[in-house]
Structure 1
Amino acid sequence: MKLYNYFRSSASFRVRIALALKGLRYEYVPVHVAKGEHKQAGYADIAADQLVPALELDDGTRLSQSMAIIEYLDETFPTPALVPADALGRARVRALAQSIACEIHPVNNLRVLKYLSKELKVDEEAKNTWYRHWVRAGLESFERQLAQGSAGTYCFGDTPTLADCCLVPQIFNGQRFNTNFSGLPRTMAAFEACMALPAFQQAQPSACPDAEA
């Protein structure tokens, strides 16, 4: 398999975590989003949406969208499972994952931040304030959801799930913008538990071959 991705991309990070948790080998293909490489014609032939990540399977089939890619991997390589076996558990985990992937991430990804700066002429500090506001609000909601669930080491239970694959990249991204993580005990405990695992360490941006110093 080949994974077309950018080391700082939260969505790419999610897929790298899933691949590492499952022990799956793949070829790392860097696409430097900050330099606009995803907008070049050659990449459009690989990913019609011109986004990262894109996963190319051994037979040449290509998949897009991190959540769909992870679910494909989970169905194709079911051990260890990233969603629970029962329908209610799967719904809980997907809700947590989507709280980050659908509620926090879209308004704070690179193309949105660039639009604020370049098109709307928002200054750097205002742009960063925008970012921190939406990440903080989203994580407060995430914390409430965790508090209403059952106790566990990770976001859901005592093994990492799809929810953890989404949480860890969001925290990494938030750290770059000096987001306030205080008062989020369950959220940060899950993050710390994840980062104690080799799979999460191997997938982090600083471990990527295209990571910038």
Structure 2
Amino acid sequence: MSESLQLYSYWRSSAAYRVRIGLNLKGLPYDIVPVHLVRDGGQQHSDAYRVLNPQELVPTLGHGQRRLTQSLAILEYLDEVWPTPPLLPATARERQRVRALALLVACEVHPLNNLRVLQYFEHEWNVPQPERDQWVKHWIEDGFRAAEALLAEHPSTGDFCEGEMPTLADCCLVPQVYNARRFGVDLTPYPTIRRIEAACLALPAFDAARPENQPDAP
């Protein structure tokens, strides 16, 4: 499939960050189409963007005439269409573990501190900023306690979440560590997470995907 790829992205969106990592690991060229999640009331809510993604979320990946949504589904699509290097390992047991680690972040941690949740707290319930920040920190810390145990105590953990090559799990973990730092989470209790993050960010594919390296970063 030779059609060009367009990633509708916001520089600080952790879900878009996941997909940038995956695209970079695959060595796939793509164009960033910025969607500012705050400016103009949130450009993801515009009529034009709603046609692309009725959920009004980023990322959306354009591949030819297709418009693909949901970061984990996009990453698995990339793995099926461009299988080398793989984002999922060879055996069913390994794939289950990688998916479980990815879903821990993408389904258990990230949705609770997503922008739209925090905006709802602010605009509908008038929750003050310190309380909103504490909410975010609580759920990141809760998830990281579990992730640290799953990683530190498992013989399959290598330089990365599963073995010696980055996988779907690392694509999810690194953006969540970025969010943790952004909200002032103390990462001292999570040495395995910090070690894996450092191994990932030493790779050009991860470094190029960092929020501060995006064309729409301020």
TM-score, normalized by the shorter chain, greater than 0.5 = yes
Structure 2 counterparts to residues 38-187 of structure 1, below 5 A: 38-58=44-64, 60-150=65-155, 151-187=157-193
Shift of the alpha carbon at 1:148?
2.9
Shift of the alpha carbon at 1:100?
0.3
How many residue pairs get aligned? The number is 211
Q: 2:37 aligns with which of 29, 33, 36?
A: 33
Determine helix, strand or coil for the equivalent of 1:156. Answer: coil
Shift of the alpha carbon at 1:147?
2.1
1:14 aligns with 2:24: no
Distance in 2 separating the partners of 1:84 and 1:207? 28
Shift of the alpha carbon at 1:31?
0.3
Deviation per CA, 1:172-195, whole angstroms, max 9, x where unpaired? 111111111111111111001001
Distance in 2 separating the partners of 1:81 and 1:27? 22
Structure 1 range deviating more: 142-151 or 189-198: 142-151
Shift of the alpha carbon at 1:47?
1.0
Determine helix, strand or coil for the equivalent of 2:68. Answer: strand
After superposing on structure 2, the runs of 4+ consecutive aligned residues of structure 1 that deviate more than 2 Å are: none
Runs of at least 5 residues in structure 1 that lack an aligned partner in the other structure: none
Give the RMSD, CA atoms, in angstroms.
Answer: 0.8
Determine helix, strand or coil for the equivalent of 2:184. Answer: coil
Determine helix, strand or coil for the equivalent of 1:33. Answer: coil
Determine helix, strand or coil for the equivalent of 2:52. Answer: coil
**Amino acid of the structure 2 residue aligned with 1:32:** H
1:208 aligns with 2:214: yes
- What's the TM-score once normalised by structure 1's chain length? 0.97
Shift of the alpha carbon at 1:120?
1.0
Runs of at least 5 residues in structure 2 that lack an aligned partner in the other structure: none
Shift of the alpha carbon at 1:135?
0.4
Determine what percentage of the aligned residue pairs are the same residue: 49
Deviation per CA, 1:117-160, whole angstroms, max 9, x where unpaired? 11111111111011101101110110011123224001111110
Distance in 2 separating the partners of 1:37 and 1:76? 30
Distance in 1 separating the partners of 2:192 and 2:97? 16
